[in-house]
Structure 1
């Protein structure tokens, strides 16, 4: 439910009139979904994704986020200034909670051992990601 609200806020939901007219989805803005907790990752010529971070990275500390909407003097993506009740921040917190409480838990490691016979994991590197359609 929160993910759907987040997608609707960012304009990812389809419009019924477009489906009826066989027009398709309009192209999306390149900086859609980027804010203080979600940063764009990956090369520009491939599909980039957004990575969630609990630390609120300031605009001046992140080279990708060099401008703020309304004050853009370069070709860098715009950073949306958001509050903690924004749908994308709520979604990021919930996905991060699942990541830490489920995927990094000992019972989940035992389950993976049981179904794969690879042994218990010795470590992990995980990210909370959001993929944007069409980008």
Structure 2
């Protein structure tokens, strides 16, 4: 067996070993600051097709609406409306405000939450609506 073949063979196994080592170390990595992609709200949020897994009492319907003037790049150009549509930051801001309203009235969750977006010649509009509910305690359920 010549030296070229032995070096090539070791290089192949060395590469595989390096990949296995890096993969196993990556699984052990935990960032010092926890990274969360989803925002946390002061109450639980359930959209129209979701329900909490525990009993609740309905408090009241809450709604929050807001309109924002169109930015320069959103103005109609050559008769076409461009750069319009849902804005995730505006949606999260609306949901944060709605959940704060729910928390102020003593709710534990919002259910049947519905988000709507609309646009006109001068504004982008957003509205969010949901039922504020209070979770029932264990002893209230059996009574």
**TM-score normalised to the size of structure 1?**
0.23
Higher RCO, 1 vs 2 (CA within 8 Å, ≥6 residues apart): 2
Q: Max radius of gyration: which structure? A: 2
- The structure that is strand-richer by fraction is 2
